[in-house]
Amino acid sequence: MRAATRGDGTTGEDVTHNVLTIKSIPTRLAGEGHPEELEIRGEIFISSADFEQLNRQMVAQGKNPFANPRNAAAGSLRQKDSALTAQRPLSMFVHGVGSRQGLEITSQFETYQQLEAWGLPVSPYSRLVASRQELLDFIESYGQQRHSLVHEIDGIVIKVNDFSTQEQLGYTSRVPRWAVAYKYPPEEVHTRLLDIQVDVGRTGRVTPFAVMEPVQVAGSTVERATLHNQDVVKAKGVLIGDTVVIRKAGDVIPEVVGPVVALRDGSERPFVMPAACPSCGTALAPAKEGDVDLRCPNGASCPAQLVQRLSYLAGRGAFDIEALGDKSAQILASPDAKGYTALTSEADLFDLTLEQLEPVQTLATRLVDAQKIPEDARVLGYQEVEVTRTVKGQKQTRLVEKAQVQVPEPYFYTKPTPKKPSQPTKDTLKLLDQLEKAKEQPLWRVLVALSIRHVGPTAARALATEFGSMQAIRDASLEDLASVDGVGETIAASLQDWFSLEWHRQIVDSWAAAGVRMEDDRSEAPERTLEGLTIVVTGSLEGFTRDSAKEAILIRGGKASGSVSKKTSYLVAGVAAGSKLDKAQALGVPVLDEAGFLALLAGDLPSL
The CATH number for 588's domain is: 3.40.50.10190
| Judgement on whether residues 272 and 239 belong to the same structural domain of the protein | yes
| Judgement on whether residues 288 and 376 belong to the same structural domain of the protein | no
Among 140, 161, 183, identify where a domain stops: 183
| Judgement on whether residues 468 and 575 belong to the same structural domain of the protein | no
| Judgement on whether residues 372 and 482 belong to the same structural domain of the protein | no
| Judgement on whether residues 247 and 391 belong to the same structural domain of the protein | no
Q: What is the pLDDT of residue 101?
A: 84
Q: How far is Cα 276 from Cα 283, in angstroms, rounded to an integer?
A: 4
Among 148, 183, 218, identify where a domain stops: 183
Is residue 505 classed as helix, strand or coil in its secondary structure? Answer: helix
Q: What is the pLDDT of residue 493?
A: 95
Q: What is the pLDDT of residue 297?
A: 94
Which residues constitute the domain of residue 402? 365-410
Assess if residue 607 is contained within a domain: no
| Judgement on whether residues 88 and 169 belong to the same structural domain of the protein | yes
Distances (CA, A) of 298 to 135, 285, 503: 57, 11, 11
Q: What is the pLDDT of residue 384?
A: 84
Strand pairing category for 591-592 and 91-97: unpaired
Assess if residue 421 is contained within a domain: no
| Judgement on whether residues 201 and 238 belong to the same structural domain of the protein | yes
Assess if residue 102 is contained within a domain: yes
Is residue 417 classed as helix, strand or coil in its secondary structure? Answer: coil
Structural domain count of the chain: 6
CATH number at residue 347: 1.10.150
| Judgement on whether residues 281 and 403 belong to the same structural domain of the protein | no
Comparing C-alpha atoms, which of 442, 431, 127, 493 is closest to residue 287?
A: 493
Q: What is the pLDDT of residue 249?
A: 67
Q: How far is Cα 518 from Cα 512, in angstroms, rounded to an integer?
A: 7
pLDDT tens-digit series, residues 176-205: 899 999 988 888 899 999 999 999 999 999
Q: What is the pLDDT of residue 9?
A: 67
pTM for the full model?
A: 0.67
Instruction: Provide Rg for the chain, Cα atoms.
Output: 28
Q: What is the pLDDT of residue 516?
A: 97
| Judgement on whether residues 178 and 191 belong to the same structural domain of the protein | no
Q: How far is Cα 86 from Cα 84, in angstroms, rounded to an integer?
A: 5
Assess if residue 575 is contained within a domain: yes
| Judgement on whether residues 96 and 203 belong to the same structural domain of the protein | no
Assess if residue 9 is contained within a domain: no
Residues of the chain with pLDDT under 50: none
| Judgement on whether residues 128 and 245 belong to the same structural domain of the protein | no
Comparing C-alpha atoms, which of 598, 476, 483 is closest to residue 535?
A: 598
Let me know: does 366 contact 397? Beta carbons within 8 Å.
Answer: no
Q: How far is Cα 427 from Cα 423, in angstroms, rounded to an integer?
A: 12
Q: What is the pLDDT of residue 251?
A: 58
Cβ count within 10 A of residue 384: 11
Let me know: does 97 contact 163? Beta carbons within 8 Å.
Answer: no
CATH number at residue 469: 1.10.150.20
Task: Give the dihedral sign, CA 576/577/579/583.
Answer: negative
